[in-house]
Homo-oligomer: A and B are copies of this chain.
Amino acid sequence: MTTVHFDVSMSLDGFITGHGEGVGNPLGDDAGRLHDWMFGAKTGADADVLDELYARTGAILMGRRMFDVGEESWGDPPPFHMPVFVLTHKAREPLPRRGGTTYVFVTDGIEAGLDQAKAAAGEKDVGIWGGAKIMRQYLKAGLLDEMQIHLVPVLIGDGVRLFEDLGPGRIELERTRSIQTLGATHLRFRVAKRSK
């Protein structure tokens, strides 16, 4: 069965991008630090975590702002090699790229986007790849099955926080896996239930 998940690097103080994130600076100042485990100080275990993520994911969902901010730097072929559904208010023709990535623009909301992504993913999983707002929307709507947080041992003090404005009630998680590497604590959680 298709699992809906997100997967994100987060500082111990809860930020997933650095200060000043925007077009031309998609991760924000200093946010390279959040991705060192992926690009810099990568160990074999880090590479395995990343390979597994790409292998399990059959379709990606992202917000329009993340698309606008990232598209140029992703280039052609983009690094996804699978269909990418972009949630937007403005209808637009699909944009095929080399290497298996097609950007498909969805204008009828997060549930419709998820249905399309699930159909495209087949036996594989759907990944909500950002930004923070879209990830929160799926979490708050009860549509998220799982999350993996790559917790990075740094306090960056500013940027975009992943977990805020979650609304009333607590959300119980179950930690299903933990992998320690030099650069991160890779924590996987199942979303259990929302109380109240």
Task: Mark A residues whose CB is within 8 Å of B.
Answer: 12-14, 30, 33, 149, 151, 153-157, 163-164, 166-175, 178, 180, 185, 187, 189
Contact = CB atoms under 8 A, between A and B. Distances in A.
Contacts of A168: 157
Contact of A178 (B12, B14, B157, B180): B180
B170 A166 contact: no
Contact of A14 (B13, B157, B180): B13
A37 to B, nearest CB: 12
A171 B30 CA distance: 12
Given A149-B12, A175-B180, A180-B175, A170 B189 contact: no
B185 A171 contact: no
Given A12-B163, A33-B170, A178-B185, 20 more contacts: A12-B189, A13-B14, A13-B166, A14-B14, A14-B163, A151-B151, A153-B174, A153-B175, A153-B189, A154-B173, A155-B166, A155-B173, A156-B170, A157-B168, A157-B170, A157-B171, A175-B180, A178-B178, A185-B185, A185-B187
